[in-house]
Amino acid sequence: MDVSQLLQEVLGRASALAPTVVDGLSEEDLARAPQPGANTVAWLVWHQARVMDDHLADAAGLEQVWTSPVDGGGEAWADRLALDLPREDTGYGHTADEVARVRASAEDLAGYARAVGERADAVVAGLGEQDLDRVVDEGWDPPVTYGVRLASVASDCLQHLGQASYVRGLLGR
C-alpha cells in the first residue's frame, strides 16, 4: 500500500460512515440536541464534511464542493442546504444557537458528505511522500504541511462522526 492508498482508505472511512449515521433519521431527530447546548447529529455530520471540504480544497487549490455546482447543475450544496449561516462557515467555534441552525435532511447531509468524500479520494489519489512535505499553511509555527493537514482532517472527521454516532444512540433512549 502506498501513501495515497493509505490516505484514500483513512479519508474514505469518514465518507462511508457519514451516510450510515444519518440513515433513517428525520430532520427533527437530526436537529435534536441530547441536552441544551450540545451538538446535534446534523451539525456534527455537516461540520465534519465542511472541515474536510474546506481544508482539502484549500491545500489542493480547488473550489470547495460546498460552493461548486452539484452534478454539473447550477445549484451548489450551500444553496441546496440553505442554512441560516454565512456561506463560508465551517462550524468552527459555533455557539449553541448556530448549531441549532444546521437543519437538513438525512439525504442532503449524506449527499454532501459523499460528494466531499469523492473529492477527497480524487485529491489524494497519486499523492507521493514528497507531496506530503509541501507547506500548505504558513499561519502556524511550525508551518503546516500537506501531510499534517490530511492527518488533522482525518482525525477531526472521525472524531466528529464518532460523536454523531453516540448522539444518534442517545436519541433512541
pLDDT digits (tens, 9 = 90+) for 12-66: 998 899 999 999 999 999 999 999 999 999 999 999 999 999 999 999 999 999 9
- The Cα–Cα gap between 105 and 31 comes to 10
Q: Would you state the pLDDT for residue 65? A: 96
DSSP state of 137: E
Residue 2: pLDDT band by 50, 70, 90 thresholds? confident
In 3-state terms the chain splits into helix, strand, coil percentages (rounded to 5) of 65, 5, 35
pLDDT digits (tens, 9 = 90+) for 57-111: 999 999 999 999 887 677 899 999 999 999 999 999 999 999 999 999 999 999 9
pLDDT above 70 for 173: no
Cα 53–chain centre separation: 6
Q: Would you state the pLDDT for residue 126? A: 82
pLDDT above 90 for 128: no
Instruction: Give Cα separations from 70 to 75, 141, 166 (angstroms).
Output: 6, 37, 30
**Residue 165: its H or E element:** helix 146-171
Q: What count of other Cβ atoms lies within 10 Å of the Cβ of residue 157? A: 30
First to last CA, the chain: 42
pTM greater than 0.75 (yes/no): yes
Q: Would you state the pLDDT for residue 35? A: 92
Residue from 68, 80, 73 nearest 105 by CA = 80
pLDDT above 80 for 172: no
